[in-house]
Amino acid sequence: MTEQSTGDVLVADYLARVRRAGAGLPPDRVDELVEDLSAHIAAARAELGVETETALRTLLDRLGDPTAIIAEAAVGEPVAPPAPVAPPRKRGLMVTLLVLLGVVIIVPVLACAIGLVAFNYYQVGGSGSGVVVDSGPAPAPTRSAPSVESTG
Amino acid sequence: VAAETISAWLRRGTLEYCVLALLGSGPRYGVELVRELAASPALTATEGTLYPLLSRLRRSGFVDTTWQESPVGPPRRYYTLTAAGQRALAEFRQEWVPFRDAVDHVMGTGSP
């Protein structure tokens, strides 16, 4: 009984060392690795038959130094992911900013242009009063409006 | 350069394919596969270092894993070769022979 708990402590300690060594790796990678290693340990322990502390220590020794396992896990992992990833993201941000700036400039300019056109229209059509009702009938008197309306 | 470093360099890029080749002869569970490879000290430093490698092969889609009940303990994770893994293995075998021959030729290590 005490043998069993000593074994569990040894295994827990080993896996904790793996986690500590893997502090610089993506957490999901370390989780997966710890899961694989604990599955290995559990299966190998089950195959031991009678488990002694010596046998378990040998088992863990064969698995090897946690730092060596983590070093292998770091192969192919981007060691400095912020460096290559950051510039495109900044460029993306720059593009977004430029687009925003463009919108910020174009919208008021367009608004001013529309405003000016509308203002001119009122000035010409509505003879200065600027009342909406005026601008509608305004062109009508210039043409022979009553004859058109009588036919319709 | 230490001999250990040289063998580590040589293992890079070849050990993956040794795993695929082993799985080519049938599925194996983690402990089984790892012990078979670690039996050749020239191929493996320690058993544990093979798990990150297996994880890479899984992510590349070269191997697949399934959990199966074990008669003596917790469920075992079995590794199988995928079709992509088979193709990769075939390509490696094609490249390996001329590569090995060329290195042997230059090194003077080829068999007479």
Q: Which residue of B has its CA nearest to A18?
A: B48
Share of chain B above pLDDT 70, in %: 99
Q: Which residue of A has its CA nearest to B39?
A: A62
Contacts of B73 in chain A (CB under 8 A): 42-43, 45-47
Q: Does residue A140 lie within any of the structural domains?
A: no
Contact A47 B52 (CB under 8 A): no
Contact criterion met (CB below 8 Å) for B45 and A64 = yes
Rounded CA-CA distance A31/A42 in Å is 16
- What pLDDT digit, counting tens, does each position of A54-74 carry? 999 999 999 999 999 999 999
- What pLDDT digit, counting tens, does each position of A18-44 carry? 999 999 999 999 999 999 999 999 999
A87-121: b (≥16 Cβ within 10 Å) or e = eeeeeeeeeeeeeeeeeeeeeeeeeeeeeeeeeee
Contact A63 B46 (CB under 8 A): yes
A39 to chain B, minimum CA–CA distance in Å? Answer: 7
Shared domain check, A76 and A30: yes
Contacts of A64 in chain B (CB under 8 A): 45-49
A76 to chain B, any CB pair closer than 8 A? The answer is: yes
- Structure-token pair, residue A8: 């569990």
- Neighbouring CB atoms inside 10 A of B54's CB total 23
Q: Give kind and range of the element (H or E) at residue B70.
A: none
Contacts of B74 in chain A (CB under 8 A): 39, 42-43, 46
Contact A32 B31 (CB under 8 A): no
- Rg, Å, chain B Cα set: 16
Shared domain check, A102 and A53: no
Shared domain check, A69 and A21: yes
Of the three residues A80, A104, A125, the one that is the final residue of a domain is A80
Rounded CA-CA distance B112/B96 in Å is 19
Tell me the three state secondary structure of residue A117.
helix
B74 to chain A, any CB pair closer than 8 A? The answer is: yes
Contact A47 B38 (CB under 8 A): no
The residue range of the domain holding A101 is 84-134
Shared domain check, A51 and A10: yes
The band of A131, judged by pLDDT with boundaries at 50, 70 and 90, is very low
Residue with token string 């090897």 = A64
Give the count of domains, chain A.
2
Residue-level pLDDT at B62: 97
Shared domain check, A89 and A24: no
Shared domain check, A74 and A27: yes
Of the three residues A55, A80, A105, the one that is the final residue of a domain is A80
- When the pLDDT of each residue in chain B is averaged and rounded to a whole number, the result is 92
Shared domain check, A106 and A68: no
Shared domain check, A75 and A32: yes
Shared domain check, A8 and A67: yes
Contact criterion met (CB below 8 Å) for B112 and B100 = no
B111 to chain A, minimum CA–CA distance in Å? Answer: 33
